[in-house]
């Protein structure tokens, strides 16, 4: 039997990029997987088809992480559909970079809503459906550990908030046997941050390994934490960054 057989996962932002890789990897490892998406219904349906092709149950829910009611409803819908939730992966994120003087209050609100408030609310909502052994895994960023170039004030601020959330959740939920951890990727080749984009060469040069990571390489760490590898890990921030912060 696969390591996550009988487990149920919810991955936010699972239609593309890191979230899609995580959803598929958890399904490969045996989990039934629900995912949320913002607007890309076709891409989300494609991921669900691939989950089902692996013999698992899959579900796509349209839910803007900026909308508190939508976040809560997605959690409840996934739990209703699959009967429980064992693994929450807070992955959906807004990658807004730019000079500090050019970022508006609306930019700040939107980024904090999606990157910070949504993981908080999803963790809160999932607890009603999560038993002992539950795992809350949030996708942060290596930019919490190293700010290597200008333009990351807002994004870095938002991702750093997740360190505090993760440690506090670990303390509060430990007595219930639920863990909380943060996975902090370095430059990963996705539509948000293409390796062949204008900032690609700079980011590549900032890593120790001299290359971008693949979404599957982040998914492997998430799967490790979701499975037996995560049993005694909680409150941790784990870089998957090719040495970007080294």
* Catalytic positions, written as ranges: 155
Burial class (CB in 10 A: 0-12, 13-18, 19+), 101: exposed
Cα distance between residue 149 and residue 165, in whole Å: 25
Q: Which of 32, 37, 48, 182 binds ligand NDP (CB under 6 A)?
A: 37
Residue 155, number of CB atoms within 10 A of its CB: 23
Q: Which of 193, 206, 221, 226 binds ligand NDP (CB under 6 A)?
A: 193
**Closest to ligand NDP by CB, 2 or 112:** 112
Size of the site for ligand NDP (CB under 6 A): 33
Binding segment toward ligand NDP, per CB under 6 A, in 48-56, 122-130, 186-194, 220-228:
186-194
Strand ranges in 24-147 using DSSP code E only, listed in sequence order: 32-37, 58-62, 87-90, 135-139
Nearest to 54 by CA among 9, 17, 111, 107: 9
Chain centre distance of CA 45: 19
Cα distance between residue 227 and residue 121, in whole Å: 24
Q: Which of 24, 125, 188, 221 binds ligand NDP (CB under 6 A)?
A: 188
**Closest to ligand NDP by CB, 3 or 246:** 246
Q: Is 227 in the site for ligand NDP (CB under 6 A)?
A: no
Cα distance between residue 190 and residue 91, in whole Å: 13
DSSP for 35-67, please give it.
EEESS-HHHHHHHHHHHHHTTS-EEEEE--TT-
Q: Is 58 in the site for ligand NDP (CB under 6 A)?
A: no
Q: Which of 4, 7, 9, 17 binds ligand NDP (CB under 6 A)?
A: 17
Binding segment toward ligand NDP, per CB under 6 A, in 39-47, 99-107, 124-132, 165-173:
39-47
Q: Which of 66, 126, 137, 165 binds ligand NDP (CB under 6 A)?
A: 66
Binding segment toward ligand NDP, per CB under 6 A, in 35-43, 119-127, 163-171, 230-238:
35-43
Structure tokens at 210: 């001299």
Binding segment toward ligand NDP, per CB under 6 A, in 1-9, 162-170, 183-191, 228-236:
183-191
Binding mask 75-94 for ligand NDP (x = CB under 6 A): ----------------xxxx
Cα distance between residue 3 and residue 29, in whole Å: 6
Interface contacts to ligand NDP, rule CB under 6 A:
12-19, 36-40, 43, 63-66, 91-95, 114, 139, 141, 185, 187-188, 190-193
């Amino acid at each position: 039997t696969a390591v996550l057989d009988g487990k149920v996962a919810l991955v936010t932002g699972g239609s593309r990029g890191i979230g899609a890789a995580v959803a598929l990897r958890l399904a490969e490892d045996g989990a039934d997987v629900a995912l949320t998406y913002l607007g890309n219904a076709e891409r989300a349906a494609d991921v669900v088809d691939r989950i089902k092709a692996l013999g698992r149950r899959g579900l796509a829910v349209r839910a803007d992480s900026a909308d508190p009611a939508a976040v809560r409803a997605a959690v409840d819908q996934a739990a209703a559909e699959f009967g429980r939730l064992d693994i929450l992966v807070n992955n959906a994120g807004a990658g807004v970079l730019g000079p500090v003087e050019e970022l508006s209050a609306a930019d700040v609100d939107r980024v904090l809503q999606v990157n910070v408030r949504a993981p908080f609310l999803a963790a809160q909502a999932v607890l009603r459906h999560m038993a002992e052994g539950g795992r809350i895994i949030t996708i942060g960023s290596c930019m919490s550990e190293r700010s290597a170039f200008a333009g990351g004030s807002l994004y870095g601020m938002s991702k750093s908030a997740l360190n505090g959330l993760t440690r506090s959740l670990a303390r509060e939920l430990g007595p219930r046997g639920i863990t909380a951890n943060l996975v902090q990727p370095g430059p990963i080749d996705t539509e948000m941050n293409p390796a062949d984009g204008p900032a690609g060469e700079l980011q590549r040069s900032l890593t120790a390994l001299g290359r971008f990571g693949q979404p599957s390489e982040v998914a492997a760490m998430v799967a490790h934490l979701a499975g037996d590898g995560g049993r005694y890990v909680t409150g941790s921030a784990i870089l998957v960054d090719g040495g970007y912060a080294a």
